[in-house]
């Protein structure tokens, strides 16, 4: 079933409750239910077996085209046969305002219609459960098929022939057909009428949401697509933001660097929140801050983990799902992520930086105040205590702990912003927090600097290159024009550039030396070039990165510098964030362009 040449040519639909990945032929290949981190009922992306998908096949298939309906999360796929017959497939997850709240059911809606000629098709719905271990029992109703599982029952309601669907028979498509897959509940109106109503409302929702974005003058379409995709990676029920919608797509071929990213990393979420804030989409920040308040309050003495489950679960134990063969046969498929047990000291800075806008943004329904400052102050105590303590670092090394320069710099960022907030509220302790921040900054500048290399380095007293050092001006530790940063930029170019792209680091890790480039690091590099006055280089490289997006404008985590092929979990919030930040930095202003 898998097409190795185009496996990450995927589109995403969703509604901030569930999401589904659809390949270029209109096949649902990865869909977790009942929420973003759930059991993938469609798991074909991670298994070569002829199962775990929902597709429409066309007799004599020759080619396909796929696109998003403009400014929406609605996907249209057109399948064409060699004889000219064609079908149009529209897929979406309903999302719109209803009864004064966002309606976002666990539901996939699919319509198919004749686009040309007299097409013959068959519809195949083959869900799996327990990560590919078994199928669903199928029961037939009057206008629906029930799929009975161990923990979840589904219902497909349709106006198509149930015989044709249950028996996977070919038939002539003569009139539009509708398929609604969701909870095992009856639908009280005609299925085609419901689909049409939900489509119109969902389309309106997304287009209205896009109209609120403060997009740059240039590269508007990529930015809008990135923003919608980031929104789809948020779990609105709790405010969590997942790092990606998939698990176990390898960072590089046959590398076993296969991780489950369907969890909320505090660091990743910081980047997502900042990107959406820059576009004016502040509600995601408000929801995420509620999530952070809940997980921090539930932790012992406000000690933060690097990641949490999307309802705030602290333990997300890692295991291997042995029934799935892996992406393009490259196992293992992992469920859960052992990094939750790690110490990653930058998490405290990530939370404080995520919260800062909430204290000052007058658009918010309720700005953060002294109570929020007290909570951040507790986190600041941890940042002060851990600023020079070994940790696994931003790249989550599993077999070594060192004092990472970026982690220490993020602890400084936490202390610096808490000092600013105490001064803003004229609170007691402002001088103490400023003194602590200055102390940590001095230590980072001294111990994270390698005089012989003329650069900041990966760990205190080390000599390695780490792309996260490109963020030192972004968090305010040094300026872009600071000779120390310019020296670091030159050092990282020598050590980490892979063609046009940037690797994360240059030291061997638990799995050897990395062989792919990390997309977000390339965007960090683009921003650093712009900050250093090399704007033309930055624009050229940004255009090159946009050209690496797939056919609908999405990016995964990694890229092969030689072939340009995308690897890693998909769509990666880090990468979509990179598009937004670089476009905002490099675009002409509206005033100068019009």
Query: Residue 396: left (phi > 0), alpha (psi -120 to 50), or beta?
Result: left
Band of the pLDDT at 67, cuts 50, 70, 90?
very high
Identify the CA nearest to 228 among candidates 460, 553, 493: 553
How far is the C-alpha of 333 from the C-alpha of 325, rounded, in Å? 7
Q: What is the pLDDT of residue 294?
A: 86
pLDDT over 80 (residue 510)? no
How far is the C-alpha of 188 from the C-alpha of 170, rounded, in Å? 29
pLDDT tens by residue, 46-63: 998 999 999 999 999 999
Could you write out the three-class secondary structure of 328-356?
CCECCCEECCHHHHCCCCHHHHHHHHHHH
Burial letters 531-557, b for 16+ CB under 10 A, else e: bbeeeeebbebbeebbebbbebbbbbb
Apex CA 570: angle with CA 284 and CA 310, to 5°? 45
pLDDT over 70 (residue 4)? no
Mean pLDDT for 527-538 is 98
Q: If you compute the radius of gyration of the chain from its CA atoms, what whole number of angstroms results?
A: 24
Q: What are phi and psi of 166, to 5 degrees?
A: -65, -35
Q: What is the pLDDT of residue 197?
A: 98
Per CATH, which fold does 214-587 belong to?
Glycosyltransferase (1.50.10)
Pair 138, 145: CB distance under 8 Å: yes
Q: What are phi and psi of 415, to 5 degrees?
A: -65, -40
Band of the pLDDT at 314, cuts 50, 70, 90?
very high
Mean pLDDT for 191-211 is 98
How far is the C-alpha of 61 from the C-alpha of 436, rounded, in Å? 66
Q: What is the pLDDT of residue 512?
A: 76
DSSP string, 79-103: EEETTS-EEEEEEE---EEETTEEE
pTM: 0.96
Q: What is the pLDDT of residue 2?
A: 40
How far is the C-alpha of 506 from the C-alpha of 303, rounded, in Å? 31
How far is the C-alpha of 450 from the C-alpha of 335, rounded, in Å? 40
Mean pLDDT for 95-103 is 93
Please identify which residue in the block is written with the tokens 């779990």: 235
Q: What is the pLDDT of residue 3?
A: 44
How far is the C-alpha of 268 from the C-alpha of 307, rounded, in Å? 9
Q: What is the pLDDT of residue 65?
A: 98
Pair 112, 173: CB distance under 8 Å: yes
Q: What is the pLDDT of residue 295?
A: 86
pLDDT tens by residue, 451-467: 999 999 999 999 999 99
pLDDT tens by residue, 386-419: 999 999 999 999 888 999 999 999 999 999 999 9
Q: What is the pLDDT of residue 538?
A: 98
Band of the pLDDT at 100, cuts 50, 70, 90?
confident
- Please give the C-alpha separations between residue 494 and each of 255, 471, 488, 500, 507, in angstroms, as whole numbers: 25, 17, 10, 12, 14
User: Token pair of 91, please?
Assistant: 């897929």
pLDDT tens by residue, 256-275: 999 999 999 999 999 999 99
- With 0-12 / 13-18 / 19 or more C-beta atoms within 10 angstroms meaning exposed / middle / buried, residue 375 is middle
How far is the C-alpha of 441 from the C-alpha of 411, rounded, in Å? 9
Beta strands in 405-552 (DSSP E): 449-450, 455-456, 497-498, 501-502, 517-518
Mean pLDDT for 443-453 is 98
User: Token pair of 326, please?
Assistant: 């892996």
Please identify which residue in the block is written with the tokens 């030159």: 490
The overall average pLDDT reported for the chain is 95
3 state SS of 31: strand
How far is the C-alpha of 119 from the C-alpha of 61, rounded, in Å? 10
pLDDT tens by residue, 533-580: 999 999 999 999 999 999 999 999 999 999 999 999 999 999 999 999
CA 84 to chain centre: 38
N- to C-terminal Cα distance for the chain? 49
pLDDT over 60 (residue 1)? no
Residue 31's contacts (CB-CB under 8 Å, 6 or more residues apart) are: 18, 19, 20, 21, 40, 41, 42, 54, 108
Band of the pLDDT at 37, cuts 50, 70, 90?
very high
Pair 149, 136: CB distance under 8 Å: yes
Please identify which residue in the block is written with the tokens 């309802």: 311
CA 39 to chain centre: 18
Q: What is the pLDDT of residue 5?
A: 38
User: Token pair of 118, please?
Assistant: 């007299």
């Amino acid at each position: 079933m898998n097409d190795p040449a185009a496996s990450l040519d995927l589109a995403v639909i969703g509604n901030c409750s569930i999401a589904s990945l659809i390949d270029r032929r209109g096949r649902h290949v990865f869909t977790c239910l009942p929420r973003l981190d759930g059991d993938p009922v469609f798991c074909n992306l991670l298994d070569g077996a002829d199962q775990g998908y929902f597709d429409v096949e066309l007799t004599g298939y020759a080619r396909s085209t796929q696109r998003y309906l403009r400014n929406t999360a609605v996907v249209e796929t057109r399948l064409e046969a060699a004889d000219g017959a064609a079908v149009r497939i529209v897929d979406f997850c309903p999302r719109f305002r209803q009864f004064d709240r966002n309606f976002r059911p666990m539901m996939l809606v699919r319509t198919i219609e004749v686009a040309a000629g007299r097409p013959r098709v068959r519809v195949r719905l083959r869900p799996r459960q327990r990560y590919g271990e078994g199928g669903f029992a199928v029961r037939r109703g009057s206008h629906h098929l029930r799929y009975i599982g161990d923990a979840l029952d589904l219902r497909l309601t349709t106006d198509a022939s149930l015989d044709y669907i249950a028996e996977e028979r070919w038939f002539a498509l003569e009139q539009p057909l509708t398929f609604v897959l969701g909870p095992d509940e009856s639908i009280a109106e005609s299925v085609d009428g419901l689909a049409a109503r939900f489509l119109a409302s969902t389309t309106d929702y997304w287009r209205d949401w896009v109209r609120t974005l403060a997009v740059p003058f240039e590269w508007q379409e990529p930015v809008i697509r990135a923003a919608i995709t980031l929104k789809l990676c948020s779990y609105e029920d709790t405010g969590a933001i997942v790092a990606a919608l998939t698990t176990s797509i390898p960072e590089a071929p046959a590398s076993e660097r296969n991780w489950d990213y369907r969890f909320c990393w505090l660091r990743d979420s910081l980047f997502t929140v900042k990107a959406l804030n820059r576009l004016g989409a502040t509600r995601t920040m408000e929801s995420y801050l509620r999530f952070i308040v809940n997980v921090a309050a539930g932790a012992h003495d406000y000690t933060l983990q690097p990641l949490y489950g999307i309802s705030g679960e602290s333990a997300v134990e890692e295991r291997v799902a042995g029934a799935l063969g892996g992406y393009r046969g490259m196992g293992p498929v992992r469920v859960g992520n052992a990094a939750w047990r790690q110490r990653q000291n930058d998490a405290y800075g990530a939370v404080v930086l995520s919260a800062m806008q909430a204290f000052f943004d007058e658009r918010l329904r309720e700005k953060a105040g002294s109570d929020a400052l007290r909570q951040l102050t507790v986190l600041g105590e941890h940042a002060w205590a851990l600023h020079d303590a070994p940790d696994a670092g931003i790249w989550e090394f599993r077999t070594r702990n060192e004092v990472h320069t970026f982690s220490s710099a993020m602890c400084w960022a936490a202390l610096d912003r808490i000092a600013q907030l105490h001064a803003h509220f004229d609170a007691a302790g402002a001088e103490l927090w400023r003194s602590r921040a200055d102390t940590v900054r001095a230590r980072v500048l001294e111990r994270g600097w390698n005089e012989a290399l003329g650069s900041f380095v990966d760990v205190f007293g080390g000599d390695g290159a780490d792309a996260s050092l490109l963020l030192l001006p972004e968090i305010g530790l040094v300026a872009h024009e600071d000779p120390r940063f310019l020296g670091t930029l030159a050092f990282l170019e020598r050590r980490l550039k892979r063609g046009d792209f940037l690797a994360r680091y240059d030291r061997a890790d638990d799995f050897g030396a990395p062989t792919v480039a990390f997309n977000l690091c390339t965007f960090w590099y683009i921003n650093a070039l712009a900050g250093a006055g090399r704007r033309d280089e930055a624009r050229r490289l940004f255009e090159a990165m946009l050209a690496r997006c797939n056919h609908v404008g999405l990016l995964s985590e990694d890229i092969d510098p030689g072939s340009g092929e995308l690897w890693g979990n998909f769509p990666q919030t880090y990468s979509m964030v990179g598009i937004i930040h670089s476009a905002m930095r490099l675009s002409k202003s509206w005033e100068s362009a019009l």
